Amino acid sequence: MIDKLLGYVRTIQQYFSTAKGYHDLKDESFAIFVILVTMLLVYLVVKYIL
């Protein structure tokens, strides 16, 4: 089980070390950031304005 998990991690690391993988990582990181900021803004609006 652990060997399989480590294989997945190694594969992901190899993918992110490529140009396309690095670009995808940047895009996905930005998308996660936008989602978190949106969630924070919605929380603040609901808590303090509504």
Domain range enclosing 50: 25-50
Question: What is the model's pTM?
Answer: 0.75
Task: Give domain status of residue 46, yes or no.
Answer: yes
Task: Give domain status of residue 33, yes or no.
Answer: yes
Task: Give domain status of residue 12, yes or no.
Answer: no
Average pLDDT value for residue range 2-18: 96
Confidence of residue 46 (pLDDT cuts 50, 70, 90): very high
Handedness of CA 19, 21, 27, 32 (dihedral sign): negative
- Let me know if 16 is exposed, middle or buried by CB neighbors in 10 A (0-12, 13-18, 19+): middle
What are the φ and ψ backbone dihedral angles of 48, each rounded to 5 degrees?
-110, -15
pLDDT of residue 50: 84
Angle at 29 between CA 40 and CA 13, to 5 degrees: 145
- What percent of the chain shows pLDDT beyond 90? 98
Task: Give domain status of residue 29, yes or no.
Answer: yes
With contact defined as beta carbons under 8 Å apart, do 32 and 26 qualify? no
